Structure 1
Amino acid sequence: MMRFLLSTALFSGLFLSSFAQDTSIYDTHQLKKGIYKSFREFRSNQPSENGKLVVKDKTPAAQIYLLASRNQLMLLDSAGHEHKVKNFWGYSDGTAAYIRDNGLNKFDEIGYYCLYQVHAITSAPANRATEGIIFNNTPPATISRKVLNIVTGDVYDLTFFNLRRYILPQDTALLREFNEDPKNKEKLIYYIEKFNQRNNPVW
């Protein structure tokens, strides 16, 4: 009887472990739709809130003068009214996952280090006059790349310094290759992708 109970407990533990692994964002082939209230919900592929979601873009003027992010997540109620979603970490539309960081930014890669881009307008456009005609230039935009550690939730700017100091030291062979590469400053994304291919997160 004791042996049966132990076997049952072992089987249940293996089943639960396998289920948890299958539903993690790192291992899954199917993202669940909904709103992530926390990093933990993102990592486990378990959004805690669902509904009809719409992403509304902000105008460049709002981004500059109101210090607003470039877009906003809205939830539609049964009457079709939009409600601003507050206090959330990110969301998934079932095809891709997005992190909230100066607006919603799509993950280009989900791995040990999840890669994404942040788009921002940095300043008001300058008016340019040519032969008495005034042109209102498009506000300058910047794109920066960041990575999210899927184990800890830490976010790093994808820079030469951060790659060499915080990320690649976990893989000494790859760090050596990086340090010996004369074009390493131009290949930051390549080394993140290679790190992801070579390393699996330990939960």
Structure 2
Amino acid sequence: MKQLGCFWIFLLVALSAVGQQTVLITDAQHLKKGLYKSFEEFQANSPSEEGDLVIKNRSSAAQIYLLANRNELVIRDGAGQEHKVKNYWGFCDGTNIFIKDNGLNKIEETGYYCIYTLHGIQPSRSYLNQADMTTNSISTPVALKKVLNVVTGQILELSAYNLKKYILPQDSILLDEFRADREKKEQLEYYIYQFNQRNKPVMQ
């Protein structure tokens, strides 16, 4: 009788543990608004801090001459004062998710591999203004596509090499299609979309 009682206690504990398993953000019905202090908080759709959070954009000059990120996250207190937020992984406004990588970048595709574009501005060569004989420089916007593995947290540049080496080997059919595709460099995002449709991420 005592052994039977122990069995039921064990079963209840096991069922309770199963019920408390973390649900990936890709399976969430609604995105929770707030600040992700870590990748794990993003992964579980569980921001640890809320408040009046706002993304503030910086000028091109600040990005070039101060080597600053293109934007920053601030939190407004009860008096309306803005304070810079430090040491965080990302942010959700309740509709969109932003990952911190040279500023905040909106995640464009959520799935096994999330896609986002890293934006920046870099100075190019100087040129001589003939009107007043001054030297000026032209700022050049740059954009780099990246992918985030929602299971491991690994971030990779979206390139043909990384698709072939690290992502598509997990799906042999897609990998064969990719190898036979002569226009692969023009449609890298297509293979991420297809991979996400065909493969469901599972917590490790």
TM-score by length of 2: 0.89
Judged with a 3 Å threshold, the aligned counterparts in structure 2 of structure 1 residues 96 and 125 are, in CA distance, closer, same or farther, namely farther
Task: Please name the residue that 1:12 is paired with.
Answer: 16
Q: In structure 2, do the counterparts of structure 1 residues 81 and 125 end up closer, same or farther at CA, with 3 Å as the change threshold?
A: farther
Q: Deviations over 1:102-157 (max 9, x none)?
A: 11000001111010001110115745646x37897762101110000111111000
Mapping of residues 1-203 of structure 1, within 5 Å = 1-2=5-6, 4-17=8-21, 20-21=22-23, 24-123=24-123, 126-127=126-127, 129=129, 132=131, 139-203=139-203
Say if 2:71 and 2:104, in contact at 8 Å, map to a contact too: yes
Q: Per-residue deviation at 1:36?
A: 0.6
Shift of 1:33: 0.7
Shift of 1:16: 1.8
Q: Describe the shift of the 1:191–1:79 C-alpha distance in structure 2 as closer, same or farther (beyond 3 A).
A: same
Please report how far the alpha carbon of residue 182 of structure 1 lies from its aligned counterpart in structure 2 after TM superposition.
Answer: 1.2
Q: Give the stretch that moved more between structures: 114-123 or 134-143.
A: 134-143
Paired residue secondary structure (2:27)? coil
Q: CA deviation at 1:173?
A: 1.1
Cα root mean square deviation, aligned: 2.1
Length, aligned pairs only: 198
In the alignment, structure 2 segments of 5+ residues that lack a partner are none
Amino acid at match of 1:66: L
Alpha carbons of 1:60 and 1:26: their partners in 2 closer, same or farther (altered >3 Å)?
A: same
CA deviation map 1:151-172 (0-9, x unaligned) = 1111000011111111111111
Take 1:141 and 1:105, find their aligned partners in 2: how far apart are those partners? 15
Gaps of 5+ in 1: none
Q: 1:49 to 1:172 in 2, by over 3 A?
A: same
Could you tell me the percent identity over the aligned residues? 48
